[in-house]
């Protein structure tokens, strides 16, 4: 047991012994340190996500944009935490980052149309050329905007639901007719 504790302390202080129990102590030190880094990363990521969500929701009032930016911050912090945990175990993260870059490039080429819609959706959420409840016309479609998601915008017209890809809204001529006026009871009789 004393060799195990000695290995733990040697790993903490930086000494370099080779007995099996001492190696186990060094491993347990790394596992405990990795767990502490993981817990700290999860706590920091959750707080920054919630803070980002609250900040952008309060400033812009747009739930979708606040949710998107909160998730981006959350996963960015988790990725940084993963790199730190890998460093604790002595793994160089350069190869991991390079591999993720190549895989990301291959996925982005394969999903080009989906990503085009997602980036157009982010643009629409930030620039807000129209809002839910407003009537818009794009191509031959006229309807009231129900939701603006990352990939599509939902319009409602004459009881039909129309899903318009955000890339079309981004690239086409768009007419924003504003909030439709309520139909009075006199005209419906």
The whole-chain average pLDDT of the chain stands at 81
Residues 83 and 159 in one domain: no
17/76 same-domain check: yes
Residue 30: pLDDT above 70? yes
Q: Is 171 inside a domain boundary?
A: yes
Residues with Cβ within 8 Å of 17's Cβ and at least 6 positions away in sequence, in order, are: 6, 7, 10
Q: What is the pLDDT of residues 91-103, one digit of tens each?
A: 888 887 888 889 9
**Which of 6, 27, 1, 28 shows the shortest CA–CA distance to 17?**
6
Same domain, 154 and 81: no
pLDDT digits (tens, 9 = 90+) for 37-82: 999 999 999 999 988 888 877 665 667 777 778 888 999 999 999 9
CATH of the domain at 131: 2.30.30.60
Report yes or no on 27 lying in a domain: yes
Sheet holding 174-178, edge to edge: 160-165, 152-157, 141-148, 135-138, 174-178
In whole angstroms, what is the distance from residue 113 CA to residue 103 CA?
17
**7 and 85 fall within a common domain:** yes
Are residue 136 and residue 81 in the same domain, yes or no?
Answer: no
The total number of structural domains that make up the chain: 2
What is the average per-residue pLDDT within 100-107? 88
- Kindly state the tokens that stand for 141: 């479609």
Is 11 inside any structural domain? Answer: yes
Which residue in 8, 176, 148, 135 sits closest to 64, CA to CA? 148
Residue 155 belongs to what domain range? 119-178
Q: Same domain, yes or no, for 124 and 164?
A: yes
């Amino acid at each position: 047991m004393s060799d195990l504790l000695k290995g733990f302390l040697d790993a903490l202080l930086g000494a370099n012994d080779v007995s099996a129990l001492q190696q186990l102590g060094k491993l347990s030190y790394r596992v405990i340190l990795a767990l502490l880094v993981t817990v700290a990363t999860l706590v920091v990521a959750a707080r920054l996500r919630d803070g980002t969500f609250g900040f952008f929701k309060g400033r812009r009032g747009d739930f979708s944009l606040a949710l998107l930016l909160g998730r981006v911050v959350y996963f960015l912090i988790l990725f940084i935490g993963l790199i730190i945990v890998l460093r604790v175990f002595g793994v160089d993260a350069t190869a991991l980052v390079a591999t993720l870059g190549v895989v990301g490039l291959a996925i982005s080429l394969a999903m080009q149309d989906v990503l085009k819609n997602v980036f157009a959706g982010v643009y629409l959420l930030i620039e807000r050329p129209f809002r839910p409840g407003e009537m818009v016309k794009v191509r031959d479609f006229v309807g009231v905007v129900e939701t603006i998601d990352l990939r599509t915008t939902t319009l409602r017209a004459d009881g039909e639901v129309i899903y318009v890809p955000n890339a079309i809204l981004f690239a086409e001529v768009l007419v924003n007719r504003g909030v439709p006026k309520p139909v009075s009871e006199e005209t419906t009789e």
